Amino acid sequence: MTQIEPVQPYPALLLQKDSDRALVVSDLHIGWERLLSQRGVHVPSQTPKIKNMMLRLVKECKPTRLIFLGDIKDAIAKVEIEEWRDIPDFFETINEKVSDIQVVLGNHDGNLEPLLPETIKIIPPTGAIFGDVGLFHGHAWPAPELLGCSSLVTGHVHPTVAIRDPMGFRMTRQVWVKAPCDGEKLAKSLLKHLSAKINSNSLSILNSKVKGKLKVSQLFIMPSFNQFLGGRPINERKRGKKKTIAFIGPILRSGSVNLNDAEIYLLDGTFLGTVDQLKALS
């Protein structure tokens, strides 16, 4: 059994199986400052702060490997000047501390490979497996093999919680989301995406792909490691004529994840309640 432990008070996850320890972070979005600059707001590069936090985590957690769950860079398709400058330096420094580094590609990671040291392993958006935990970015469907894991971990959403006080002031905070996941429903949605015929044999088809019993029962959504980014309030209520709250990513849109009953935690581990309970505060 793989131990899953948020590293308080950081937006990072530590996975442990026997002597193997994987430190997982998501959504660095290095180079995001250029968007503000284009709008006349000039912010110095925050990459040194992100790098220092990463080095501090490595020193505290002593991982045997690092797994980055996508969106290393901010520009989606091209590579900006800031990214050419900051990303190689970031990974060369981190690689000196941890030799085993894996990067799961996110939707912002176009042309990322030339920026990374050759020793870093690049993994497709369909994800990777550590023990019995499936890891993927979240903008694309996970590989069928990941549904043989008991837990899934994703990024991409940048989850926050919004709280409005009686005076009408609203604050947001980064959060962890731990949501129940209907593995059978997710399997059928994935099979449909793969153009497989949905019938009574659908689960046996998937079982043959995962080479074992369908196990997935919960989904963890990671906060972005770049704490300067905004995020989507997970407890946002429907307003006006809007019928649904559209969440990004195929798994959240599949209906297989029960977000209303999802448990919400601050980075320091404080349990705030379920999404349904927190909607009244948004």
- 111 Ramachandran zone, left/alpha/beta (phi>0; psi -120 to 50): left
- Considering its fold, how many domains does the chain have in total? 1
Residue-by-residue pLDDT tens, the chain, 282 positions: 899 999 999 999 999 999 999 999 999 999 877 766 667 777 778 899 999 999 999 999 999 999 999 999 988 777 777 888 899 999 999 999 999 999 999 999 999 999 999 999 999 999 999 999 999 999 999 999 999 999 999 999 999 999 988 877 888 999 999 999 999 999 989 988 887 666 656 666 666 666 567 889 999 999 999 988 878 899 987 665 554 455 689 999 999 999 999 999 999 999 999 999 999 887
Structural domain range at position 110: 3-281
Is this model's pTM higher than 0.85 or not?
yes
